[in-house]
Amino acid sequence: MGLETFTGKVSDLVATNPPGTDPKSQGDDHLRGIKTTIIGQSVNMQLGQSATATQNFTFTTGLDGTMKLARGNVGATTQDVMTVSAAGKVAFTQNKEPAFAAVADGSQTIPATPTKILFQTERFDTDNCFASSRFTPTVAGYYQLNAGLAANASSTQCGVYIQKNGVTQASLFLADNASFCSVIMQMNGTTDYAEAFGYLGTPGLTSNATFGGTQFSGSLVRPA
């Protein structure tokens, strides 16, 4: 008797079944098996039968209109690849796009020598790449970085720098109490980091926290 054991997987189906010698009375068994397989695939389908789970994929749909493509086996996925929400929003969960913004609280005195600016408040940090006033992205690519410095009083000169791994990539000096600069630069996603430095020509001045006057931000423009 050429009748498979149906568990809801496409791999259960045997192309040569049923043989011509099977009695017609078994036809309903085959039909029920095919229906079980089709129904199972519409909800939770495994693509691949490798002994290594990460070489297989699962395609899962929910009754609420959600969908998920993941690595692994049915019932034991290891990594989500793509999801679709009930509202139809598509998300590629492995495509991280680091972005951050932080502001200073105005307590730091900035002397007339390049000094790392400290940013005490994070407005957002999407991938936890900003710490200790340093941005170290975990995705290789091209990033836009922005830095602004404002003094709490008039200064003979104000300068702000953006550095990558301790080397200045952009800077702007103005005969004023505020300055801002921006740059796009490539970062390797592992060891490269960015910091903001400042310079105030008048001794004793601090960074200005009003309206986020002293700030540092950045985001991924495109992956490498």
Given a contact cutoff of 8 angstroms between Cβ atoms, the answer to whether 174 and 129 are in contact is no
Query: Which tens digits make up the pLDDT trace of 109-143?
Result: 999 999 999 999 999 999 999 999 999 999 999 99
Determine whether domain 99-223 maps to CATH 3.40.50.2300.
no
Given a contact cutoff of 8 angstroms between Cβ atoms, the answer to whether 67 and 61 are in contact is yes
Which pTM value belongs to this model?
0.65
Query: Which tens digits make up the pLDDT trace of 9-66?
Result: 667 777 777 777 777 767 677 677 676 666 655 567 788 888 888 888 888 887 788 8
The whole-number pLDDT of residue 136 equals: 98
The whole-number pLDDT of residue 37 equals: 67
**pLDDT exceeds cutoff 60 at 79:** yes
The whole-number pLDDT of residue 40 equals: 59
The residue written with tokens 């998300």 in the block is 91
Q: Distance (Å, rounded) from C-alpha 172 to C-alpha 160?
A: 6
Given a contact cutoff of 8 angstroms between Cβ atoms, the answer to whether 7 and 43 are in contact is no
Q: 170: Cβ–Cβ under 8 A, 6 or more apart, which residues?
A: 145, 161, 162, 181, 182, 183
**Domains of the chain by residue range:** 10-91, 99-223
Q: What are the C-alpha distances in Å from 85 to residues 42, 43, 44, 59, 97?
A: 17, 15, 16, 14, 19
Q: Distance (Å, rounded) from C-alpha 159 to C-alpha 151?
A: 10
